[in-house]
Structure 1
Amino acid sequence: MDVAVSGASGLIGSALRASLEADGHQVVPLLRPGRPGRGIAWDPEHGTIDASGLESIDAVVHLAGEGVAAGPWTHRHRTAVLRSRVDGTRLLAGALAGLDLPPSVLVSGSAIGYYGSRGDEPLPEDAGPGHDFLARVCIAWEAATAVAEDAGIRTVHVRTGMVLAPRGGALGPQRPLFRAGLGAKAGRGTQWVSWIHLDDEVGAIRHAITRADVAGAVNLAAPHPVTNAAFARAFAASLGRRARLTIPRLATAVPFGVGQLVDSLLFASQRVAPDVLEQTGYRFEHPELAEALAHV
């Protein structure tokens, strides 16, 4: 199987590439200008892509986008987050729709931010969207694949939760603090955290590629979300520490977009259910948090 991947050098993309290549599949990365290596040239900022390189590709996985937590949520950064997802997705979907031999499936990135902050409400794939910035980004991001769907390409929107990985990811910036005994819950810690181990992130994407009955929104989150307080305790315990501190909600009042970023990442509550994955036979390698943290 030949699989084209955008964002192939990122946390998820590099793990997906390694997994596919280990099983004998060929991964063809989409490469921006100036990036070394062999692949399909594309430049989302200028709206160009070498569509001929996509002919006869079996599947496309689209993961590229500006990092949400790459900086404070200034107007400039928020614009970059939105445009990098919508413009790149629209460009790629349009190129696929115009092919003589299009892929059978497009797996396009999204996030559980689609749902907004919803308290204790269970959130399967058919739950409605939220209204905050990240929800609006995800709505527009998913809508940008429409031309590929209209062309008959099976399209999957993988709504990813907090990814747990040995290096980088959501745990990267927190690990030194927790290791130093400075682990903390956010506020009361009652908000829900929906997480997924990197192995299952990759496994679920591969499941979406190969299962013809998987289409539309798919929640990529483990079947057992936990509260923020429980996550802090488990993460600290995995490092032989305790999480005794509390991050006050006052932290969200910091100006220049920092407060909005903190509020979205630490205080949003999303109790996500991976109904589609479970109903189509996906078996999680790491369904329980304590074991997943021990593994990473």
Structure 2
Amino acid sequence: MPGKILITGGSGLVGMRLSEMLIDQGYEVAHLSRRPDKVSTYKTFKWDIEAGYIDESAISYADYIVNLAGASVSSDKWSEERKREILHSRTDSLHLLQKCLSQSEHHVKGLLSASAIGIYGDSGDQLVSEESTYADDFLAEVCKAWEAAAWQVRDLGIRTVIFRLGIVLSVKGGALPQIARPVKMMAGAPLGSGKQYMSWIHIDDACRLFIQAIEAPQFEGVYNAVAPHPVTNKEFTKELAEAMKKPLVLPKVPAFAINLMMGEMSEVILASQRVSANKVLHTGFTFEYSYLEEALESFYEEEED
């Protein structure tokens, strides 16, 4: 029985696609936004994380809350200020939701919150699962704090699901257009050693996973939101060039060059993350795009038609 879904971070890449897919399935969707007056297709409630304010009617509206709020990890170099923003945009939003849920009348049945596979750090060739140990680099610390903030909602007796998202593939934003740009210009090359694993998920599968977790009460706790077949950076670049029908001409882009361009943020590209999808598969969820080739074709075949 479709209900009312309140989304934080609804204007982001996953939020926009998830909103469309929820509406298609008969749900009502509303967004929490700092600027509710800007033109939106969706009902919009105001919140102001810094001021600690949420329109109370947002909480009383929702059957489920999907939390996708957070400053982009890959849009700017990581200055100390940017790092604070990346962390606090994630934790403060959840603290505010938790506070409002604990203080107001509501009928929220579940919180679905994003996290990221960055929690595992650089794990080389080792296949990591939800039970694996966490890293202690910057992104891992952000993920740990992000998840701890989500668990506070579970302490209120609300079913809480955390999805550790891999690299979400979409041509509308995120990592794929950035990786595709040099390939498009016939300058594609693996990055660093090229041997580092990339755990990815097609945006539609990520959104279907959120929807399934709304509908299936057995979803609870932490799940890796990654397709079942991670690939190395070298394989990814090769598959991408094939999907775009472009040659790969350059040797590898050396790690030091990436470090120079991106600073500490190069961790995102050079870390190897080979992440298991088994826990999600055991819920009975079926991926529409299990293999990278199918996922990339879904984007680049459309472009040609």
Q: Where on the TM-score scale, by shorter chain, does this alignment land: which range?
A: over 0.9
Contact 2:124 2:274 (C-alpha < 8 Å) held by counterparts: yes
Q: Match of 1:172, SS?
A: helix
Structure 2 counterpart of 1:250: 256
Q: Quick check: 1:260 aligned with 2:268?
A: no
- Give the one of 21, 24, 32 matched to 1:22: 24
Give the one of 6, 10, 13 matched to 1:11.
13
CA distance in 1, matches of 2:88, 2:37: 21
Match of residue 145, structure 1, among 146, 150, 161: 150
Residue 30 of structure 2 aligns with an amino acid whose one-letter code is: V
- Select 1:240's aligned residue among 233, 238, 245: 245
Among 280, 285, 295, the residue aligned to 1:282:
285
Q: State the distance in 2 between where 1:295 and 1:109 align.
A: 24
Q: Is residue 168 of structure 2 the alignment partner of residue 166 of structure 1?
A: no
Matches within 5 A, 1:50-65: 50-55=55-60, 57-65=62-70
Q: d(CA) in 1 for partners of 2:10 and 2:210?
A: 13
Give the 5 Å matches for 1:29-48.
29-33=31-35, 35-36=37-38, 37=40, 38-48=43-53
1:187 match: 192
User: Percent identity of the aligned residues?
Assistant: 37
2:303 is aligned to none
Asked whether the 8 Å contact 2:36–2:46 carries over to 1, the reply is: no
Aligned partner of residue 50 in structure 2, secondary structure: helix
With normalisation by structure 1, the TM-score equals 0.95
- Provide Cα deviations, 1:269-292, integer angstroms capped at 9, x if missing partner: 111112221111100000010111
Q: How does 1:29-178 map to 2 (within 5 A)?
A: 29-33=31-35, 35-36=37-38, 37=40, 38-55=43-60, 57-178=62-183
Alpha-carbon distance change, 34 to 59 in structure 1, aligned in 2, over 3 angstroms: closer
Residues 187-206 of structure 1 mapped to structure 2, 5 A cutoff? 187-206=192-211
Q: Kindly state the Cα deviation for residue 93 of structure 1 after the two structures are TM-superposed.
A: 2.1
Distance between the aligned counterparts of 1:45 and 1:70, measured in 2?
A: 21
Amino acid at match of 2:287: F
Tell me how far apart the structure 1 counterparts of residues 62 and 172 of structure 2 sit (CA, whole Å).
31
In structure 2, how many angstroms separate the alpha carbons of the residues matched to 1:208 and 1:223?
18
Unaligned runs of 5+ in 1: none
Q: What is the deviation of 1:34? A: 5.6
Deviations 1:173-217 (A, max 9, x none): 232211111111112211110000011010111111111111111
Q: Could you tell me how far apart the structure 2 residues matched to 1:97 and 1:164 are?
A: 36
Q: CA offset at residue 35 of structure 1?
A: 4.3
Aligned length: 293
- The answer for unaligned runs of 5 or more in structure 2 is 300-305
Paired with 1:205 and 1:138, the residues of 2 have a C-alpha distance of 18
User: CA 1:99/1:279 → structure 2, altered by over 3 Å: closer, same or farther?
Assistant: farther
